[in-house]
Structure 1
Amino acid sequence: MDSFLPTVEKLPEGHPVKVYYQEGALIQDILLELYDADPVKDFQKYFNIFNQLTTIEKRFARKENQLFPYLEKHGWEGPSQGMWSFHDNLRDQIRLLNGYNSEKNTEKIIDNIPYLIEGIKRLMIIEDTRLFPNSMDLLSEDDWKEFYQGDEEIGWMLLEKPTPYPTIEKEEYVHPSQDFKKRDLSFSLDNTFHYDEGYMTPEQVNLLLRFLPVDITYVDENDKVIFYNRGEDRVFPRSKGIIGREVRFCHPPKSVDMVLRIVEEFKAGTKDVAEFWFNFKGRIIHIRYFAIRNDNKEYKGVIEMSQDITEIQKLEGQKRLLDWD
Structure 2
Amino acid sequence: MTELLNNREYKKEQLKKILLRIHEGESVEKLKEEFKRLLSNISPLEIPIIEQELVQEGISAKDIAKMCDIHVELFREAVKGTDELEERDLPDGHPLKTLYLENKEIMKDSEMLSLYARTLTTTNDERMREEILGVLEEIVNNLRKVGFTHYNREEMLTFPYIERRGITAVATVLWTKHDEVRFMIKYLAELLRKRNEMPWEEFVKLFKDKAGEASFALNDMVFRENNIYYPTLKALLSDGEWKAIRMQEDEMGYYKVDPPAWDPGEDVKPLHPWEINPELSVEQLLSLPKEVQEALKGQPLEFDKTELKRDGDIDLGTGYVNVEELKIIFEALPMDVTFIDKDDRVRFFSPGERIFDRTLSVLGRPVQLCHPPKSVYIVNKILQAFKEGRKKEATFWLHLGKKYVYIKYVPLFNERGEYIGTLEMTMDIAPYKKIEGEKRLIDWEELE
Quickly name the TM-score band, shorter chain normalised: 0.7 to 0.9
1:262 aligns to what?
Answer: 382
SS in 1 for 2:357: coil
Are residue 319 (structure 1) and residue 408 (structure 2) matched? no
Report the structure, 1 or 2, having the larger strand content.
Answer: 1
**Structure 2: 5+ residue stretches without partners:** 1-75, 121-128, 197-202, 277-305
Give the counterpart of 1:244 among 364, 370, 392: 364
Classify 1:293/1:188 alpha carbon distance in 2 versus 1 (closer, same or farther; 3 Å).
Answer: closer
SS in 1 for 2:275: coil
Cα distance in 2 for partners of 1:158, 1:166 equals 24
Aligned length: 316
The aligned runs of 1:63-142 (5 Å cut-off) are 63-105=154-196, 107=204, 108-142=206-240
2:428 aligns to what?
Answer: 308
- CA deviation vs aligned residue, 1:103-136 (integer Å, no higher than 9, x gap): 3455353342222111112222221332122222
Higher gyration radius (CA)? 2
**CA deviation after TM superposition for structure 1 residue 8, in Å:** 2.8
More off after superposition, 287-296 vs 12-21: 12-21
**Structure 1: 5+ residue stretches without partners:** none
**Is the Cα contact below 8 Å between 1:74 and 1:139 reproduced in 2?**
no
In the superposition, the TM-score normalised over structure 1's length comes to: 0.88
More off after superposition, 70-79 vs 254-263: 254-263
2:140 aligns to what?
Answer: 50
The aligned runs of 1:4-83 (5 Å cut-off) are 4-38=83-117, 40-42=129-131, 43-57=133-147, 58-83=149-174
**Is the Cα contact below 8 Å between 2:98 and 2:257 reproduced in 1?**
no
- CA deviation vs aligned residue, 1:168-188 (integer Å, no higher than 9, x gap): 7xxx9x9x9xx99x9337423
Cα distance in 2 for partners of 1:221, 1:134 equals 51
Classify 1:139/1:323 alpha carbon distance in 2 versus 1 (closer, same or farther; 3 Å).
Answer: same
1:271 aligns to what?
Answer: 391
SS in 1 for 2:160: helix
Cα distance in 2 for partners of 1:280, 1:73 equals 49
**CA deviation after TM superposition for structure 1 residue 23, in Å:** 0.9
Classify 1:272/1:142 alpha carbon distance in 2 versus 1 (closer, same or farther; 3 Å).
Answer: closer
- CA deviation vs aligned residue, 1:182-202 (integer Å, no higher than 9, x gap): 933742342223333233333
2:309 aligns to what?
Answer: 188
Cα distance in 2 for partners of 1:95, 1:256 equals 52
The aligned runs of 1:278-289 (5 Å cut-off) are 278-289=398-409
Instruction: State percent identity of aligned pairs.
Output: 29
Cα distance in 2 for partners of 1:197, 1:253 equals 40
SS in 2 for 1:270: coil
Cα distance in 2 for partners of 1:197, 1:247 equals 30
Classify 1:242/1:89 alpha carbon distance in 2 versus 1 (closer, same or farther; 3 Å).
Answer: same
Paired amino acid for 2:320: Y
Give the counterpart of 2:326 among 199, 205, 217: 205
**Is the Cα contact below 8 Å between 2:412 and 2:420 reproduced in 1?**
yes
Classify 1:254/1:318 alpha carbon distance in 2 versus 1 (closer, same or farther; 3 Å).
Answer: farther
**Is the Cα contact below 8 Å between 1:194 and 1:200 reproduced in 2?**
yes
**Is the Cα contact below 8 Å between 1:19 and 1:162 reproduced in 2?**
no
- CA deviation vs aligned residue, 1:275-325 (integer Å, no higher than 9, x gap): 111111111111101011222322211111001111100011111111111
Classify 1:94/1:259 alpha carbon distance in 2 versus 1 (closer, same or farther; 3 Å).
Answer: farther
Cα distance in 1 for partners of 2:441, 2:426 equals 26
Cα distance in 2 for partners of 1:242, 1:218 equals 12
**Is the Cα contact below 8 Å between 1:14 and 1:163 reproduced in 2?**
yes
- CA deviation vs aligned residue, 1:82-118 (integer Å, no higher than 9, x gap): 2112212222222222222333455353342222111
Cα distance in 1 for partners of 2:213, 2:355 equals 49
Paired amino acid for 2:177: F
SS in 2 for 1:65: helix
Cα distance in 2 for partners of 1:196, 1:143 equals 18
Cα distance in 2 for partners of 1:84, 1:254 equals 57
Classify 1:159/1:136 alpha carbon distance in 2 versus 1 (closer, same or farther; 3 Å).
Answer: closer
SS in 2 for 1:54: helix
Are residue 160 (structure 1) and residue 160 (structure 2) matched? no
**Is the Cα contact below 8 Å between 1:56 and 1:157 reproduced in 2?**
yes
More off after superposition, 136-145 vs 147-156: 136-145
Report the structure, 1 or 2, having the larger helix content.
Answer: 2
**CA deviation after TM superposition for structure 1 residue 41, in Å:** 4.1
In the superposition, the TM-score normalised over structure 2's length comes to: 0.65
Cα distance in 2 for partners of 1:191, 1:54 equals 44
SS in 1 for 2:82: coil
